[in-house]
Amino acid sequence: MVSKRFDTIKSMLDYTTKDVHYYILLLSAPILLTFYRYFSYPENIFKYFPSLLTSAEGTVMGYKWHFFGFFILMFLVPALHVFFFWRKSFDDLGWGLGDKKFGIKFTIITLIFMVLPVAYLGSSDLSVVSEYPLAKVLLTEKNLVWGYHLAYVVFYYVAWEFYFRGYLLFGLKEKYGAVAAILIQTISSCLIHIDKPFSEIFLSIPVGIFLGMVALRSRSFWYAFLVHATLGVLTDLFIIFK
């Protein structure tokens, strides 16, 4: 009886065991982003370790933990799924350099004509200035800027692009097609911008679609990574050193 009911539910849901990894990909977004929001946000880091706020170095270290927590959730957890359970090639998820000729040309043009002016103009936007840099002590303790941004790029931006425009995008494309995969990763990456300035969260939608298309065209998420990370770091640096 139980088996028959299970078969009925399975048939109703159109569930197939061979698609279990795609279900894991889809569920990973709400689960991992929820864990990130409630356990790795800076406010939670400082709530658990208030002594970090007693010095500039400690405050910056708290933000580095924030980045590392993001790295564990959005890079290590998906990577373990891919390596031990899905047994899929990382190159199939955009890890390789793909179409280098297209990727390099896109990166250079985008950095010059989009990233530089957007970062500079953004550094004058009061809503952006109120948000960045995340560690406000960097505005006065400039000797801590480079270590902070190294962690920012290595732990935060690498994990971001691997998860959204690698694991999700390439992983879902083969099952649901390019358009659905681009939209799913865009929806997920947009939600992580909640509480950010309106201009940033709104622009994350077209930018998410655009970079998703670029990743698929180049067969790599590294070119999107270079654009995204450079925009984030330059915006910080323009604000700090203006």
**What does the mean pLDDT of the chain come to?**
93
Does residue 156 lie in a domain region? yes
This prediction has a pTM of 0.92
Tell me what pLDDT residue 1 has.
55
Q: What percent of the chain is predicted at pLDDT more than 90? A: 87
Range of the domain at 96: 21-241
What number of residues does the chain have? 242
Does residue 145 lie in a domain region? yes
Mean pLDDT for the stretch of residues 44-57: 94
Does residue 9 lie in a domain region? no
Q: Is the pLDDT of residue 9 over 80?
A: no
In the structure, what pLDDT confidence band is assigned to residue 196 with cuts at 50, 70 and 90?
confident
Diameter of the chain by CA atoms? 71
Does residue 149 lie in a domain region? yes
Tell me what pLDDT residue 14 has.
64
How many domains does the chain divide into? 1
Which token pair is 1? 């009886």
Q: CA angle, corner 173, sides to 99 and 203, nearest 5? A: 80
Does residue 186 lie in a domain region? yes
Lowest mean pLDDT among 4-18, 60-74, 184-198, 217-231: 4-18
Does residue 106 lie in a domain region? yes
CA distance 163 to 157: 10
Q: Is the pLDDT of residue 104 over 60?
A: yes
Does residue 13 lie in a domain region? no
pLDDT in tens, 108-134: 999 999 999 999 999 999 999 999 999
Q: Is the pLDDT of residue 8 over 80?
A: no
Taking the alpha carbons at both ends of the chain, their separation in whole angstroms is 71
